[in-house]
Structure 1
């Protein structure tokens, strides 16, 4: 049944809708949450600061090599110290670190409190999902939705009916389903050893420690399917413990949740049908726009 559910949804994951590692990628995955957007801005800012420091230091080195080489300066200076230079090279790093700390603390505070960056944040509308790491799969619980609970296991090669839309080592039998634009309180714990729940597109990484319930939050800004993996060495099959989160419209999530509590495979099939209808509607709209041009 689980494999059938994965096969039903697999064909609906277009390349533009999926977030996963790509060959030769040197930057982070495209942000799909406000936290990851902040992380990317912070990373870009730090990169610029680093580049400027490298350029300034390189320029000083080149100046010293040219100005004070033996040919240009046959009589070497016997200066033992320079107060102004020492003050500058002490204060400059301090000021740089202070400048870096401001956006750093802002990001840390936002990761703990969605009210800092989510417009019209309403604590009453926050949805809770509990992710439990086991060797070597994830279990998801929806305490706010009649206690829906299911396991999410990586699809083996023989079960991947659509290799293009079911990426190897990332596709799972039962995806986590969440509504777009909704703050999700994510609780993470380990059932056996330490695991780590990581979703790059959401800027999310949280350790799953046995006996300790860790908590964070995310808000998916775009529909689609997003892939992550366990990021803590947890045993022989650590590399085969992916995470797949499918983001859908709020009404589609409600329909899925209402059916999933009694019929999980049927809920995935109903969701797949709704997503297929959306795909057809989008194709029709695109055709009309092209014809209008």
Structure 2
């Protein structure tokens, strides 16, 4: 599990987040190369003594500085479009969970189980146990099985919210009266933290998202215990 306070991205815990990290690295490499090339041209223009005031045009040079930027844009656009299609793809989910945003907490409903639903509130700072993260821990975690396609149905009860989980590469707006969907697969066991990413009111910073990924057998035991307690 990545530490929430670290700089940069959290460690990828889903195939989609791995794709996003690869695209980020690809875009950064392109940006560094372009910046270095532009800086080199500027330095050469400022220091060279080779000046010809009679040079008015060069078709070869114009072709080069038109084709090269186009090639760079294509090299960025193609993987970006691929990831966009991957983010919209939902292939036969094994589990469907509905997340509803409220001011200021989340409600979760496991639609494949009867009467398996609960609210998730942030744990106050005064009640935190040793090792728990301030403003990120919730009294009830959303539990999912590892290596299982999970579909999230996201909506809101009052104002705009956003269900975001960086380690899993998920971010979906919660809109009142509208049901949005997204999907993810947790590739390893762990606890993953997120927060509402839409400014939804005075306590916007106090509605964390906590997802715990566990093996399938433990998930079945957890769901059976939750249904028994209900």
Q: Same-fold call, TM > 0.5?
A: yes
Larger Rg: 1
Alpha-carbon shift at residue 198 of structure 1 (Å): 0.5
Within a 5 Å distance, the mapping from 1:1-293 to structure 2 comes to 18-23=1-6, 25=7, 27-67=8-48, 72=49, 77-115=53-91, 123=92, 126-162=94-130, 164=131, 166-263=132-229
TM value normalised by structure 1: 0.75
| RMSD after superposition | 1.5
Question: What is the CA deviation profile of residues 155-207 of structure 1, one whole-angstrom value per residue up to 9, with x for unaligned ones?
Answer: 00121122x1x100000000000001100001100110000011000011100
Equivalents in 2 of 1:126, 1:203: separation in Å?
19
Equivalents in 2 of 1:145, 1:62: separation in Å?
66
Match of 1:198, SS state, is strand
Equivalents in 1 of 2:57, 2:34: separation in Å?
23
Report if aligned partners of 1:182, 1:220 keep a CA contact under 8 Å in 2.
Answer: yes
Report if aligned partners of 1:20, 1:226 keep a CA contact under 8 Å in 2.
Answer: no
Deviating above 6 A after TM superposition, structure 1's stretches of 4 or more consecutive aligned residues are none
Report if aligned partners of 1:19, 1:227 keep a CA contact under 8 Å in 2.
Answer: no
TM value normalised by structure 2: 0.95
Report if aligned partners of 1:195, 1:232 keep a CA contact under 8 Å in 2.
Answer: yes
Report if aligned partners of 1:179, 1:250 keep a CA contact under 8 Å in 2.
Answer: yes
Match of 1:98, SS state, is helix
Equivalents in 1 of 2:9, 2:129: separation in Å?
29
Equivalents in 1 of 2:147, 2:206: separation in Å?
29
Question: What is the CA deviation profile of residues 21-41 of structure 1, one whole-angstrom value per residue up to 9, with x for unaligned ones?
Answer: 124x1x200000000000000
Alpha-carbon shift at residue 233 of structure 1 (Å): 0.2
The 1:142–1:20 alpha-carbon spacing in structure 2 relative to 1, beyond 3 Å, is farther
Query: Which consecutive residues of structure 2, in runs of 5 or more, have no partner in the other structure?
Result: none
Equivalents in 1 of 2:96, 2:85: separation in Å?
20
Question: What is the CA deviation profile of residues 143-162 of structure 1, one whole-angstrom value per residue up to 9, with x for unaligned ones?
Answer: 10224110000000121122
More helix by share: 1
Alpha-carbon shift at residue 59 of structure 1 (Å): 1.3
Alpha-carbon shift at residue 106 of structure 1 (Å): 1.1
Equivalents in 2 of 1:53, 1:21: separation in Å?
32
When the two structures are aligned, how many residues end up with a matched partner? 230
